[in-house]
Amino acid sequence: MALIVQKYGGTSVGSVERIKSVAERVVRTVKDGNKVVVVVSAMSGETDKLITLANQLSAHPGEREMDMLLSSGERVTSALTAMAVEALGTKAISFTGRQAGIITDTVHTKARIERINGDRISKALEEDYVVVIAGFQGVTEGSTDVTTLGRGGSDLSAVAIAAAVKADLCEIYTDVDGVYTTDPNIVPEARKLEKISYEEMLELASLGAKVLQTRSVEFAMKYNVPVVVRSSFNNNPGTLVVEEDKGMENVVVSGIAYDKNQAKVTVVDVPDKPGIAAKLFNAIASANIIIDMIVQNISSDGKFADISFTVPKTDAKRAVEVAGAIGKEMGAKRVDLREDISKVSVVGVGMRTHSGVAAKMFQQMADHNINIFMISTSEIKVSCIIDLKFTELAVRVLHETFDLAV
Ligand code: ADP
Ligand code: ASP
Ligand code: MG
C-alpha cells in the first residue's frame, strides 16, 4: 500500500464532468490499495475572474481581502470533489488550508509555508477517508488570517503536504501529459521528457514554464519528494522529476522556456556614486517585489548611471512607484517602464561541461533580426530579454537549433 498525493489543476476540475472524472481516478487509486490525499486548484479561469471583480471595485484592493477572496475558488472545488468521490461510494472529506494545518507567514498573496501540522490529515487517512484539500492557501500562526501562496500555488500545497505526510509519490495532474522540451502548446514538435532533474525543472519553472510552480520544485528538491507530472485526460506515463543522474549531463540543452509576465523598469540618469544600487534595491525588496535581471550602464563621462531591472508584470506599477520615489531622492532624471517584453531561456545541466551555447543562441537571435535587450546566465541557463512579439519565433527557432524536436 502506498500513500499518494494527487494534485489536480484548474482545467482538470474545470467542470462537473471533469470533477467526476477526477473522482473516478481517485477511487481507482484507492481500489488499487492506496491511501490518497487530493489537492485541488480552483476551476480554470476562476482566480482570474475573482481578480477582475476586485479590480472593478478598487485600484489597490487590500491584500488581506484579496486572500479572503481568492481562497474561495479552491474551497468550492475541494467540497465538490469530496462530494463526487462520496457519490462513487468512497468516504471523502474536504479541508481548507487551515483545516489541513497549513501554517504560513503573514505575506498576503504570496505567503510562504512555515510548517504543516498534518495530524488531522493523518487521522482522516487512518479512518479511510480520501482527504481533499483546497490548494493555494494556508493560515497565519494562531489561525488569524487566510493567506494564499502565489499564482500556481496549488502545486506547492501538494508538494508540501506530500513532504509533511511522507507520501510515497506526489502526482501533479494537468492538461499536458508531462514536462516537454518546451511548451507543447507553442511548439507541437516538442518532445516529452521521461525524466528531468530537480535542478533543471527549477530553472525551467522559474524561467516561465508554468507546468510546475517554481516554489513547488524548490520544496520537492529540498525534501526529496518524488514528483510526477501527468495528464488528467489520459493514462500516459508522464514525466518524473528526480535527482540528477550521470547520463543527464550528456544532454547539453534539455529545454526552452519563455516568460511573458516580465516588465523592464529603468531608472534613467542617476548621479553615479557608491550606494545607489543598494538604496534602490533595498527599497524594492522592502516592497516584497522580486527582481530578476539587473543591468547598469555608466555614461561615458562616468557621471550618470542607468539602472534597468526586470520584475513580474503584476508588480511593475508598484516597482515604478518605489523606484520613482527613491530615484527622486537620488536625483535621477526619470523612471521608464516597458511591458512589451519577454524572456526566452535555454536550460540544461550539460552546459556545465559544454561551451558555446550562449554564442549559438545569440547568433540565432541575430539571424532572425531579434534584438536582445538584456542577457543573464547561470551555470545551467542562458536568458535573453527580447521584444514580446518575437517570443514564439524565438522559442521555435531555439528549439530547432538545439535539436530538441521528436
Ligand atoms: P494547471 O492548471 O493544471 O496547474 P498550468 O496551466 O498551470 O496547469 O500548467 C500547464 C501548462 O504549462 C500547459 O498547458 C503548457 O501550456 C504549459 N507549459 C509551459 N512550458 C511547458 C513545458 N516545458 N512542458 C509542459 N507544459 C508546459
Ligand atoms: N487557482 C490559483 C491560480 O490560478 C492556484 C493554482 O491554480 O494553482 O493561480
Ligand atoms: Mg499550474
pLDDT (tens digit per residue) in 215-271: 999 999 999 999 999 999 999 999 999 998 887 777 889 899 999 999 999 999 999
Per the domain annotation, does 383 fall within a domain? yes
Closest-CA residue to 157 (of 2, 6, 45):
6
What's the confidence (pLDDT) of residue 77?
98
Q: Whose CA is nearest to atom 9 of ligand 2?
A: 151
Q: Tell me, yes or no, whether 166 and 261 share the same domain.
A: no
Provide the percentage of residues in the chain whose pLDDT is more than 70: 100
Q: Tell me, yes or no, whether 389 and 284 share the same domain.
A: yes
Q: Tell me, yes or no, whether 28 and 155 share the same domain.
A: yes
Q: What is the CATH number of the domain that holds 128?
A: 3.40.1160.10
Q: Is the pLDDT of residue 404 over 90?
A: yes
pTM (two decimals): 0.92
Query: What is the residue whose three cell numbers read 462537473?
Result: 16
Q: Tell me, yes or no, whether 154 and 282 share the same domain.
A: no
Supply the DSSP symbol for 372.
P
Per the domain annotation, does 193 fall within a domain? no
Mean pLDDT of 44-71: 96
In a mutational test of the pocket of ligand 2, which residue from 41, 148, 232, 314 has the highest number of ligand atoms less than 8 Å from its CB? 41
Per the domain annotation, does 144 fall within a domain? yes
Residues spanned by the domain of 348: 257-401
What is the atom index within ligand 2 of the atom nearest the CA of 154? Answer: 8
CB atoms near residue 119 (< 10 Å): 9
Q: Which of 121, 149, 175 is the last residue of a domain?
A: 175
CB atoms near residue 69 (< 10 Å): 17
Q: Is the pLDDT of residue 397 over 80?
A: yes
What's the confidence (pLDDT) of residue 215?
96
What's the confidence (pLDDT) of residue 102?
98
Supply the DSSP symbol for 28.
H
**pLDDT tier at 16 (50, 70, 90 boundaries)?**
very high
Q: Tell me, yes or no, whether 160 and 264 share the same domain.
A: no
What's the confidence (pLDDT) of residue 321?
96
Mean pLDDT of 144-161: 97
- Rounded to the nearest 10 degrees, how much is the dihedral formed by the CA atoms of 68, 71, 76, 78? -140
In a mutational test of the pocket of ligand 1, which residue from 11, 12, 176 has the highest number of ligand atoms less than 8 Å from its CB? 176
Q: Tell me, yes or no, whether 19 and 151 share the same domain.
A: yes
Q: Tell me, yes or no, whether 296 and 391 share the same domain.
A: yes
> In sequence order, which ranges of 210-265 are alpha helices (DSSP H)?
214-223
Q: Tell me, yes or no, whether 135 and 13 share the same domain.
A: yes
Per the domain annotation, does 302 fall within a domain? yes
Closest-CA residue to 150 (of 56, 214, 230, 222):
214
Per the domain annotation, does 206 fall within a domain? no
Q: Which of 147, 175, 203 is the last residue of a domain?
A: 175
**pLDDT tier at 97 (50, 70, 90 boundaries)?**
very high
Q: Is the pLDDT of residue 82 over 80?
A: yes
- Supply φ then ψ for residue 358, to 5 degrees: -60, -45
Q: Tell me, yes or no, whether 278 and 380 share the same domain.
A: yes
- Supply φ then ψ for residue 138, to 5 degrees: -155, -165
C-alpha cell at 91: 468516504
Q: What is the CATH number of the domain that holds 320?
A: 3.30.2130.10
Q: Tell me, yes or no, whether 140 and 270 share the same domain.
A: no
Which residues have any ligand 2 atom within 6 Å of their CB? Answer: 9-10, 41-42, 47, 73, 135-136, 151-155
Query: What is the residue whose three cell numbers read 526552452?
Result: 256
Per the domain annotation, does 200 fall within a domain? no
**168 CB under 6 A from ligand 1?**
no
What's the confidence (pLDDT) of residue 250?
77
Q: Model confidence over 163-191: pLDDT tens digits?
A: 999 999 999 999 999 999 999 999 999 99
Per the domain annotation, does 190 fall within a domain? no
Per the domain annotation, does 211 fall within a domain? no
What's the confidence (pLDDT) of residue 229?
98
**Are residues 374 and 310 in contact, defined by beta-carbon separation less than 8 angstroms?**
yes
Gap from CA of 178 to ligand 1 centroid (Å): 9
What's the confidence (pLDDT) of residue 341?
98
Q: Which of 175, 199, 225 is the last residue of a domain?
A: 175
Rounded to the nearest integer, the mean pLDDT of the chain is 96
Q: Tell me, yes or no, whether 287 and 147 share the same domain.
A: no
Number of structural domains found in the chain: 2
Q: Is the pLDDT of residue 13 over 90?
A: yes
Mean pLDDT of 345-357: 90
